[in-house]
A and B are shown apart, each in its own frame.
Chain A
Amino acid sequence: MADQPRDESLAPGGARDAPDAEAPAREPQAERRRDPAGTSDNARSPEPAQPRPRDEPMRPGQKFRAQDGDRTGRRDEDRRSGGHFRQAIREELASDRTAVRGRDANGDGVISEVIRLENVYLSFDRPILEDVSFSAHEGETIVVVGESGTGKSTTLKLILRLLVPDQGRVFIDGKDITGLSFNDALKERQKMGMVFQGAALFDSMSVFENIAYPLREHTEMTEEEIEARVREKLQFVDLDPDQVMPQLPSELSGGMKKRVGIARGMANNPEIMLYDEPTSGLDPLTTGTISRLIKKLQGELGVTSIVVSHDIRSSFFMASNIALLANRKICFFGTPEEMAASDDPYIRDFLGGL
């Protein structure tokens, strides 16, 4: 074992990690490169049969060309058919999805409708939404997906009553909030927590002050109670309270900001949580962390969530229902299983494209 190179990633024909399914296709190539006196079943050899690619720095003007043996991170089959991505979707659907079904969160024996949009029309200089309707029940997570600029964030603002629809109505807990005055709408928003795209933390306040803000505004909690609640929420989002609480938002990384944003959104234990692209711009590891966090909120606290997302994989992971916004309408509303099984060409494009 001692004579094998430490870093196998540079070995040409790197056939390490080749799963069995791919091995038959790979073998012939690997054979050719193997040192005649080659070692075990893996195509590792202490001396490469060919000069290593990229040994010399590229000359100015030389074009990059991927050669055999370069690890480009994708296999040929995947590039053609999007199979790698479909594999991911299949894995998500096969996992335990009981947690994403609606559930009776407030214990009144009924899974009631928490949010409902009814025939909503909205336009600014141009029409944004036309005849949009959907509803969310207790404990469900609705993920709104669609191309950029199709009005996904606008939908969240309609639910929050930051915008008023031109036509149609919005119901929260059965109450029509469309016609409410500014102050009444302000009160309705106490039931909701919102996580903005950039977290929108108040940059003149520390993390502690940020999370404590809704508590100070709306509750009569004492300072000790507030501190206890802030610690609890920070622990829920997997941050170290003592380290993070005195820091300013500008000192945090993107993932930490998002998590603090989530902590602030849930500070008041709202029954509805709204997320505007919670995982955009984050690295894959942090994306996974945030997705699991959202699912944890739903699973442990039975919060109803509306998530606007670009990330199809995590959408499938956490959604009870997916709403696809296109052409100013909802062109699909259903479970992720139904979406994956759909025949519609646009949907297949949407899921297959990367």
Chain B
Amino acid sequence: MRPSSHSLPHLPAFLERINTAAKKRVHTIQDYFTLAWNALRFIFARPFYAGDLVQQMDAIGVQSLGLVILTGFFTGAVLALQASVQLRTFGATIYIGRLVAGSVILELGPVLAGLMVAARVGSGIAAQLGSMKVTEQIDALNTLGTDPIKKLVTPRVLATLIMLPILTIINDAVGIFGGNVVAAVLLDVVPTPLYWRTVWEQIAAGGFSLRVIPNDFIQGLIKPLVFGGIISITACYFGLGTTGGTEGVGTSTTRTVVTASILILIVDYFLTQILLSVLGQ
């Protein structure tokens, strides 16, 4: 709200435009991280809106369950299908379990579950907060003495951080089971007990940290944690920044899903790099 009032030397017109556009980008990123920081630190600040948290956990977690189960099952199933063809060249079809488990736990589970939840939950949060913004309900909250970040953003962020890893675990389990259904039952290239044995071999092959925690699980659970944060904060950022009436709500929703999805894919790469080097691979 306070425009800067110091006088700067005048730049030529096109540089001025680039300057303004660049500043806008920087401000956007700054606002995004400010929102993220506030949302996270208010997890520990009073007042705690526990009722809202539980409600969001239901809306985000429990109600995304069907979606995640469906996605997971068919992902694992199609993986097994393709794998049976590819591995036949090497005569290695008994190792379908390793391929399915490895892909699902490390990448496909977190990323696909993340994208599905980004679409469903991200659009939902953005639309909800966007509608509240354009009908002045956010201002009303401020007027009634409630910090909208504490009441609206933090419960949603925390709920997503809790729920997405759980959803991913379910996704992974159903995916590997889907692979089992295709490989052992439909195509009959490997007997079921052998399938699950190879799955366990794959998990063990990644190594263990702290003696009992498989490294693959660490990768496969840190990713949903990060993705969950990205989804919820992006959704809240665009939702609370909605302008322009009902059309603005539509724009915010679209931008949320697109931005969150792209961020998930990009961050996935860099996160994998970091995790692989940290876990000593």
Contacts and interface: CB of A to CB of B under 8 A. Distances in A.
A200 B137 contact: yes
A2 to B, nearest CB: 55
Nearest to B142: A162
B3 A123 contact: yes
Given A189-B143, A190-B145, A213-B144, A166 B3 contact: yes
A189 B142 CA distance: 8
Nearest to A186: B145
A163 interface: yes
A281 to B, nearest CB: 14
Given A123-B3, A166-B3, A217 B139 contact: no
A288 interface: no
A202 B5 CA distance: 38
A202 B2 contact: no
A198 B135 contact: yes
B1 A164 contact: yes
Interface in B125-140: 131-132, 135-137, 139-140
Chain A contact patch, size range: 20 to 34
B140 A194 contact: yes
Contacts of B1: 122, 124, 163-164, 166
A214 interface: yes
B52 to A, nearest CB: 10
Contacts of A324: none
A202 B137 contact: yes
B21 to A, nearest CB: 15
A218 interface: yes
Contact of B2 (A162, A166, A190, A194): A166
A197 interface: yes
Contact of A196 (B5, B131, B139): B139
A351 B167 CA distance: 63
B142 A202 contact: no
A162 B143 contact: yes
B58 to A, nearest CB: 14
Given A166-B3, A214-B144, 4 more contacts: A166-B5, A182-B147, A202-B141, A217-B145
22 contacts: A160-B143, A162-B143, A164-B1, A164-B2, A166-B2, A186-B146, A189-B144, A189-B145, A190-B145, A196-B140, A197-B136, A200-B139, A200-B140, A201-B137, A201-B140, A202-B132, A202-B137, A202-B140, A203-B131, A203-B135, A217-B145, A217-B146
